[in-house]
Amino acid sequence: MIFESFKSVALLLLMAIPGFIIAKTHLVVKEQAVTFLSVFLLYVCQPFVTFNAFLKQDFDLNVLFNMLKIFLFIAFFIIIMALIGKLLTKFIFKKATIEDKRSISYAGAFGNMGYMAIPFLQLLFPGNYLVILYAASAITAFNLVSWSFGIYLLSGDKRNMNIKKAIFNPATISLLATLPFYILNINFVKYPLPGLQNLINLFATMMGPLAMILVGLEMSDISLKELVSDPKVYFSSFIKLCISPVLAFALISILSYFLDFTQITVNIITAAAVPSANNLLMFSNKLGRSAKTPTKMVVISTILSILTIPIALNVFT
């Protein structure tokens, strides 16, 4: 497991190189490219990943229960991690600005589920659509918490919470739209449609390369000196990459006395171990703040995850 995990994360980070080179050589306008890729990934690739997973599975009531378990676990786990990050930051970085403290709390709690967890799981478990289906449930929980509690955590103002986007976003809509087909057992297993299957699969498999190209574009503006000189960046990465998977494993161990987590442990540990979410950059821009420190948090945690994700999966699954 550790070698396969390391190889999968390494391959993902290699996919970021073209984006980095393109931005550094000014072949595109970076801001426009980031906007386009973000929209394409959110509104096209992510829904097709969900369609691809659901329509290649026969209905199983146990799978629905597992989806509910992972949804509830991830939603509450993110909130717990945010509160832990807020408490730790309060004592360790007393002189940091309130914006940086809030960014640390967010970066330590919200992981890159859509742009990192799904591509990673696609590489680690090729052809295992059940794992991706569970990941879709985790992303739904992430979006719900991110657009409500998450943006409140960053701003300190409840008026910035967007319940509409928390509920009505591409990831949630695609899951809800496909769920009836799954429950009614209307799928490609029962009704093979090779042409449509290939089309959906092609869009789904674009998720990994395009998501990492986006990461490469975002990395291009940060100098090496800036990356290695900010202790807040490493602290947020420590919370997200080290404390988060340890706590997730501890909670699974406790809850396993009452519920079966066997089939979704890999998904939960992956969600807990992936680097900080790109949403931190989007929300920082939305709130009119500098995204320089949040960008460093996302970039450093992504680079360090090449070591931490394989270790977390090997130790805790």
Q: How many residues in the chain?
A: 317
User: Stretch 79-94: mean pLDDT, rounded?
Assistant: 92
233 contacts 298 by C-beta, under 8 angstroms: no
pLDDT in tens, 268-284: 999 999 999 888 877 88
The amino acid present at 259, given as its one-letter code, is L
Per-residue pLDDT reduced to its tens digit, 114-152? 888 888 998 889 888 899 999 999 999 998 999 899 989
Closest C-alpha among 155, 165, 173 to residue 99:
155
Q: What is the pTM of this model?
A: 0.90
Kindly state whether residue 147 falls inside one of the protein's structural domains.
yes
Residue 236 lies in a domain: yes
In a domain? residue 154: yes
Q: Integer distance in angstroms from the first to the last C-alpha of the chain?
A: 9
Q: Which residues form the domain of 91?
A: 2-28+72-128+139-171+212-316
Given a cut of 90, whether residue 18 has pLDDT beyond it is yes
Residue pointed to by tokens 């998720």: 207
Torsional sign, CA 309, 310, 315, 317: positive
Please give the tally of structural domains in the chain.
1
Instruction: For residue 201, tell me if it sits in a domain.
Output: no
- Cα dihedral 214, 126, 275, 111 sign: positive
Most confident among 60-69, 88-97, 226-235 (mean pLDDT): 60-69
Residue 226 predicted with pLDDT over 70: no
Domain membership of residue 112 (yes or no) is yes
Query: Please, what is the average pLDDT of the chain?
Result: 89
pLDDT in the model for residue 1: 65
What number of CA atoms fall less than 13 Å from residue 16's CA on the CB side?
20
225 is a domain residue: yes
Q: Of 175, 174, 135, which Cα lies nearest the Cα of 264?
A: 135
Dihedral angle of Cα 224, 225, 231, 234, to the nearest 10 degrees? 10
What pLDDT digit, counting tens, does each position of 285-301 carry?
777 777 778 888 888 89
In a domain, 264, yes or no: yes
Q: Name 82's Cβ contacts closer than 8 Å, sequence gap at least 6.
A: 105, 106, 108, 109, 110, 149, 150, 153
> Would you state the pLDDT for residue 166?
81
178 in a structural domain? no
